[in-house]
């Protein structure tokens, strides 16, 4: 593994031979802080300094999506001047997904 706590490279991982050619494929990752809803009127009134209330409680894990598929949960960590995410839980495959 990489000595850096904030990064890793594809050369750090041992992939099965059938997947070796895919090790450097880039994937889109989203970290979801929370969700909320508001009226169109409230949305149009947003400006710098506005506060948008989310359903997520303070201290709860954030959701990690890879190519729009839920993969894990994690918590925010600050390293130097950088915001990072520590993964705390990985999504388990359902029986249907394991068979496909």
CATH tag for 26-91 (out of 1.25.40.10, 2.30.330.10, 2.60.40.60, 3.30.420.40): 2.30.330.10
Structural domain spans, the chain: 26-91
What residues does 74 pair with on adjacent strands? 62, 87
Nearest-angstrom CA–CA distance, 61 and 100: 29
Query: What pLDDT shows up at residue 14?
Result: 81
Q: pLDDT tens across 66-90, in order?
A: 998 999 999 988 999 998 999 999 9
Nearest-angstrom CA–CA distance, 27 and 61: 22
Q: Which residues of the chain have pLDDT under 70?
A: 1-13, 93-100
Which residues 6+ apart lie within 8 Å of 22 measured at CB?
15
8 Å CB contact between 64 and 87 = yes
For 64, counting Cβ atoms within 10 Å of its Cβ (0-12 exposed, 13-18 middle, 19+ buried), the class is buried
């Amino acid at each position: 593994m990489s000595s850096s706590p904030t990064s890793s490279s594809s050369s750090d991982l041992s992939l099965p031979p059938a997947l070796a050619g895919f090790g450097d494929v880039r994937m889109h990752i989203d970290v979801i802080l929370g969700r909320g809803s508001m009226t169109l009127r409230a949305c149009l009134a947003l400006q710098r300094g506005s506060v948008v209330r989310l359903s997520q409680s303070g201290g709860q894990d954030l959701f990690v999506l890879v190519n729009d598929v839920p993969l894990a949960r994690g918590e925010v960590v600050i390293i130097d001047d950088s915001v990072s995410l520590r993964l705390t839980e990985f999504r388990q495959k359902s029986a249907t997904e394991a068979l496909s």
